[in-house]
Amino acid sequence: MTRIVLAYSGGLETSIAIPWLAARHAAEVIALTVDLGQGKEVLEEIRDRALATGALRAHVIDARDAFARDYLLCALKAGILADRSPVAAALAHPLIASKTIEIANIEQATLVAHGDPAGSGSPLDRTIRALDPTMTVLAPAGEWGMTHEQQIAYARERHVTLPVELSGLGDRGSAPRAVGVKSNEPASVDIAFERGAPVGINGVMMPLPDLMGSLGIIAGAHGVTSLAALHTSHDALERAAIADRGRFSSPRIGELYLRVLRDGHWFTPSRHALDVEADAVQQQVSGLVRLTLFDGECAVGDVQVIPSPKTIVLARED
């Protein structure tokens, strides 16, 4: 039989894509979900849903470290995390595209699919084609012409079970959720940066994925996401460290990064050149930023610029 690897988010569009692709192409459908930090329980539920919906196999690939190191950090240095939710979703596309091709090669499949209704015009579609021009890319959500209500009816007819919170989101990305036990008291958090990269929180040095996890718990208790906290603190430090942001700063680079993402050109020399330029900017951006978190708000307190990253001392003054 024909074998298709589907980039599977667990949302409405990719869920009904499994029976739709199987019927339309007389195919075996292999589901692929990329772990970007959704959480173990969520990923297990997504995998079980794919198999229950008819996928022959359901792969879940842990890419949390790569996503933080090679994608979110680039976006932070370029200053494009201000939009947070849309940018975070767009940043996942190049990584999902590369993993989809990787699994397709392992499964000996020459067809891959995704759930973006934009079809061949979507960044995910463009990136897959750019990475492997020999791969046939299918975009069922751009073909079937079903309204949202018709998609739900189609799912019910084929006994596709969807959680309530996903039944109407589709597969183009949703807002990062703030996680944590809600607190009624304001909290302060210190974030240390070296050359534009966050390296420590509240006096403790840690790798970026661990830092984001810790920050997510602290900030989430006040209705703030880790991405929002990182962008706010990094932007404040950059503004303090670079006097003339118009001449030598990341805003101009950010516009070019967004264009690269939209056009599906992440894996090109153009993006690598932007990385070099952004890193040059960030050589000046080292120091400590204190944030106050409360009731969904993230306010900047003290900002300390440190000329040499070697002089950073991670210590809180409570």
- Both 15 and 112 in one domain: the answer is yes
133 & 264 share domain: no
Residue 218 lies in a domain: yes
180 occurs within a structural domain: no
Q: Residue 200 belongs to what H/E stretch?
A: strand 197-201
pLDDT at 166: 44
Residues paired with 186 in a beta bridge:
none
Q: Kindly state whether residue 163 falls inside one of the protein's structural domains.
A: no
Q: Report which DSSP code applies to 71.
A: I
Tens digits of per-residue pLDDT, 264-279? 899 999 999 999 988 9
Phi, psi (deg, nearest 5) at residue 202: 50, 45
Mean pLDDT of the chain: 86
Residue 133, pLDDT above cutoff 80: yes
Same domain, 227 and 296: yes
Task: Indicate if the pLDDT at residue 126 is higher than 90.
Answer: yes
* Residues 246 and 293 grouped into a single domain: yes
* pLDDT on residue 247: 52
- 35 with 43: CB under 8 angstroms? yes
Q: How far apart are CA 70 and CA 83, in angstroms?
A: 18
Residue at 165 is within a domain: no
Q: Which domain holds residue 22?
A: 2-157
Is the domain of 153 the same as that of 218?
no
> Over 50: is that where the pLDDT of 242 sits?
yes
User: Is 307 a member of any domain?
Assistant: yes
The reply to whether 132 and 207 lie within a common domain is no
Domain assignment present for 83: yes
pLDDT for position 308: 60
Q: Domain boundary residue among 112, 135, 157? A: 157
Domain assignment present for 182: no
191 lies in the same domain as 281: yes
C-beta separation of 15 from 160 below 8 A: yes
Q: What is the pLDDT of residue 178?
A: 55
**Residue 184 scores a pLDDT above 80:** no
Q: How far, rounded to the nearest angstrom, does the alpha carbon of residue 134 sit from its chain's CA centroid?
A: 26
In a domain? residue 175: no
CATH number at residue 201: 3.90.1260.10
Q: Do 146 and 217 belong together in one domain?
A: no
Number of domains in the chain: 2
Phi and psi torsions of 248, nearest 5°: -140, 85
Of 157, 172, 202, which marks where a domain is finished? 157
What's the pLDDT tens digit per position in 43-100? Answer: 999 999 999 999 999 999 999 999 999 999 999 998 888 765 578 778 899 999 999 9
Q: What is the mean pLDDT of residues 189-199?
A: 96
Q: Which residue has the higher pLDDT, 281 or 100?
A: 100
Indicate which CATH number applies to the domain containing 17: 3.40.50.620
- Note whether 7 and 150 are same-domain residues: yes
The pLDDT value recorded for residue 170 is 35
In this predicted structure, the answer to whether residue 315 has a pLDDT above a threshold of 50 is no
Residues 31, 142, single domain; the answer is yes
Q: What is the pTM of this model?
A: 0.84
DSSP code at position 139: -
232 & 194 share domain: yes
Does 44 share its domain with 115?
yes
The neighbour count for residue 179, using CB atoms within 10 Å, is 14
